[in-house]
Amino acid sequence: MKRNGMTMYLGFGMLMVAMPAAHACGPDSVAAGAVCLDRYEESVWRVPNPTTTNALLVTEIQLGTATTDDLTAAGATQLGTFIDDYAPCTANGQNCADDIYAVSLPAVIPAANISWFQAQEACANAGKRLPTSAEWQIGATGTPDAGPDDGTTDCNSDAGSVSLTGARENCQSARGAFDMVGNLDEWVAEWVPLSTACATWGGLSDDLMCLFGASTASVSPGALLRGGDFRSHTAAGPLAVVGSGGPFNSRAFIGFRCAR
């Protein structure tokens, strides 16, 4: 409390993060056409007591205002950074509702080792979904195509391991999303007949074009991956597309980001 002439202020309580006036997307995402695409590759958190003591935290996650400090203070634990530790949420997406939450945060290790089913559930619990390939494309446009990776500011296409979200500062798209190229391959919503080969984009681009052929023997469809990863070298890029990964795949170089 302070006294200032005729004015008195009384303040109790805690501050919340304020949003810019009349901004349609949360602070964790960028506007990309009709969707809000998450600014960062997702980190995935297990939130204890999500419907009781941590209900407010879950609301903040869904509004895009939760911070790493908020999550840590609530006892949430980050998953998928080194191994597949999502159980009891299983690779086929069972037992995941109200358990694992995708959060778009800067300067954290993005979650990998996650199946398409688990990724989709983590988005859904956060009130979001996987973007379609077309939505992802709008969000990726303008990201510099991977050339030689300088290891510090360029998109991570050659480091052999994952970078912290947003750390490669030149790796930003026209609409403001980070790491759309390289770092982790990203699941998008679509399924296709499992691709059997990689072709090329012809003279258009040197990016991965592995949405080609249709398996007649596979025991799984393909779920599309976009952008390439930290091992893709110059084949990472805003056009990179892979249809040869089944939705159960769980790999250290595959992650995702959500949209709403």
Partner 1 sequence: MRHTIMTRTLVLWVAMGVNAAASAAGTCGPDAVPAGTTCLDRYEASVWRVPNPTTTNGPLVRKIQFGLATALDLASGGATQLGVGGDDYVPCTDDGQNCAGDIYAVSLPSEIPSARITWFQAQDACASSGKRLPTSAEWQVGANGTPDPGPDNRATDCNSAGNIVSATGTRGACISARGAFDMAGNLEEWVADWAPLSSVCTGWGGLSDDRMCLAGASTEVGGPGALTRGGSFVDGTGAGPLAVVGGRRPAVTSSFIGFRCAADNPGPVPAEVDDGVRVSRTGSDAVIRWSVAAGATASTVLRGHVSGLPVGRPGTDERCLISNSGADTLTDHDVPAGGDAFWYLVRGENAAGSGPYGFEETHGVPVAPRLSSTCP
Where along the sequence are the contacts to partner 1 (CB under 8 A)?
Answer: 6-24, 26, 55-56, 58-60, 62-65, 91-97, 117, 120-121, 123-125, 127-130, 132, 189-194, 214-221, 248, 260
* Closest CB 68 distance from partner 1, rounded Å: 17
CA distance 116 to 259: 15
CA-based R_g, the chain, Å: 20
Give min distance, CB of 250 to partner 1, in A.
12
Round to whole Å and give the CA distance between 258 and 260. 7
Residue of 87, 229, 237, 218 lying closest to 163 (CA atoms):
229
Nearer to partner 1, 62 or 81 (CB): 62
C-beta closer to partner 1: residue 205 or 215? 215
**Minimum CB distance to partner 1, residue 129 (Å):** 5
| Nearer Cβ to partner 1 (56/150) | 56
| Rounded Cα gap, residues 230 and 41, in angstroms | 13
Measure Cα distances from 171 to 106, 154, 180 in Å: 13, 6, 7
Q: At closest approach, how far in Å is the CB of 64 from partner 1?
A: 8
Q: At its nearest, how many Å lie between partner 1 and the CB of residue 107?
A: 21
Cα–Cα distance for residue pair 223/102, rounded to 1 Å = 19
Computed from CA positions of residues 191, 197, 198, 199, in that sequence, does the dihedral angle turn out positive or negative?
negative
Residue with tokens 């912290």: 164
Nearer of residues 51 and 202 to partner 1, judged by Cβ: 51
40 with 164: CB under 8 angstroms? no
Q: Which is nearer to partner 1, 182 or 247 (CB)?
A: 247
CB closer to partner 1, 45 vs 117: 117
Q: How near is the Cβ of 58 to partner 1 at its closest, in Å? A: 8
